[in-house]
Amino acid sequence: MILDAFDSPVGAWLTVTEPAGGSDTIVVSSRVRLARNIANFPFMSKASAAQKQELCSLFEQRVAKLGMANLNFMMLDTASAHDRQLLLERHLISKNLAAGEGARGVAVSRDETLSIMVNEEDHIRLQVLRSGLKLQECWAQADQIDNDLQQHLEFAFNHRFGYLTACPTNVGTGLRVSVMLHLPALKLNGDMDKVFAAAKDMHLAIRGLYGEGTEAVGDFYQLSNQTTLGRSEEEIIHELESAVLPQVLYMEQDARQRLLTQRPYLLDDRIGRALGVLKYARVLSTEETLFHLSYLRLGTAMGRISGVSMALLNRLFLWTQSAHLQVEAARDLDPEARKVHRADVLRKYLNL
């Protein structure tokens, strides 16, 4: 069981302390990702099956030399669909890597704050995750690991363009910095358009819970940079952190305040219904669960409900997803049985 490789029921990047009402109630997590390719190897689209296999082996050998404690490498082409789904739900691999073909793998740290995907769109995609707004810390660690990797692997680099990547949008720094935002009040007030407009003005992308090509569910949005070329890593991070994020955080805080002062009973109605359904339903889909958990998170952040901790919510967000549910049940569950078991798990933990 792949989950045995993990330290805790949720990754360290989700192990938050209780929010004091600050930006941590809105910024769920920070993420820095670097795209790298090995010099003198064809890009993924041109690589043969043998070359993909060779790349995995090379990486595995070199990672061993990195001397980074607690970094486990696993091949994904030979892993079960269940284990791939589990890694996806924990945000340690991308949808592309989970569903991909051919030799590919991932190295994951025991605390789940670091993962290095091999043979995704690029040969190497390194990500560092942190709870709350911690882009600087993420970048510092990513930069350190990038340097460590370069002791053992030569990356494709052009002195004019910077790091070379499979897709031109990543050329240069190969950097994507993103924050996962919880914006239920903006969504409820119908003001998400303003966020999309602000992001567009600043050349930022807004995506769903599982990154590119996924829907925003449970009012969670990933805000990230689109430009990787022509500016330093520090400039890219600074722009997201200073120019855009404060504006979005202010908008969400303002929307929450307006809900509270104008029609508090409507706010409490949403939160109450969410709690009522999660406590009493017997059949629950992933989507509906995320929808309701989102309101419990809002209620907890705003102090409108007690007895539901952020730690419990983070656990429930994770453990009500398909692969995690099957770990909890210790058996395979068909889609219908999953919905029933999901409701069982929620009733168990929300039995206040």
For residues 143-180, b (16+ Cβ closer than 10 Å) or e, as one string? bebbebbeeebebbeeeeebbbbbeeebbbbbbbbbbb
Determine the interface stretch with its own copies among 108-116, 171-179, 204-212, 266-274 (rule: CB under 8 A): 266-274
d(CA 80, CA 319): 19
Instruction: In angstroms, give the least distance from the CB of 322 to its own copies.
Output: 18
Considering only residues 283, 287, 303, 309, which one is a binding residue for its own copies as defined by CB under 8 A?
A: 283
Q: Which of 61, 134, 125 is nearest to 93 (CA)?
A: 125
- 303 counts as binding its own copies under rule CB under 8 A: no
Extract the tokens encoding 302: 């705003």
Interface residue with its own copies, options 68, 166, 272, 333 (CB under 8 A):
272
Smallest gap from Cβ 184 to its own copies, in A, equals 16
User: Judged by CB under 8 A, does residue 260 bind its own copies?
Assistant: no
CB of 286 vs its own copies, minimal distance in Å: 16
| Backbone φ/ψ region at 109: left (φ over 0), alpha (ψ -120 to 50), beta | beta
Q: Of residues 49-108, which lie at the interface with its own copies (CB under 8 A)?
A: none
Range in contact with its own copies (rule: CB under 8 A) among 120-128, 229-237, 243-251, 262-270:
262-270
343 binds its own copies (CB under 8 A): yes
**Per rule CB under 8 A, count of chain residues that contact its own copies:** 17
Shortest reach from residue 313's CB to its own copies, in Å: 17
Binding status of residue 262 toward its own copies by CB under 8 A: no
Residue 287 interacts with its own copies (CB under 8 A): yes or no: no
Q: Are 16 and 30 in contact (CB under 8 A)?
A: no
The distance of closest approach from Cβ of residue 283 to its own copies in the complex, given in angstroms and rounded to an integer, is 4
Which pairs count as long-range contacts for 239-245, CB under 8 Å and 24+ apart, including other chains?
239/202, 240/135, 240/177, 240/178, 240/179, 240/204, 241/133, 241/135, 241/136, 243/202, 244/198, 244/199, 244/202, 244/204, 245/27, 245/133, 245/179
**Nearest residue (CB) to its own copies, 204 versus 296:** 296
Contacts of 23 (CB under 8 A, 6+ apart): 132, 133, 249
- Closest contact distance (angstroms) between CB of 252 and its own copies is 22
The answer to whether 273 contacts its own copies (rule: CB under 8 A) is yes
Among 268, 311, 333, 349, binds its own copies (CB under 8 A): 268
Q: Which range, of 45-53, 129-137, 188-196, 276-284, touches its own copies by CB under 8 A?
A: 276-284
Site for its own copies contains 265 (CB under 8 A): yes
Stretch that binds its own copies, among 58-66, 172-180, 194-202, 274-282 (CB under 8 A): 274-282
Site for its own copies in 189-248 (CB under 8 A): none
Exactly one of 48, 282, 287, 309 binds its own copies (CB under 8 A); that residue is 282
Contact set with its own copies (CB under 8 A): 265-266, 268-269, 272-273, 275-283, 340, 343
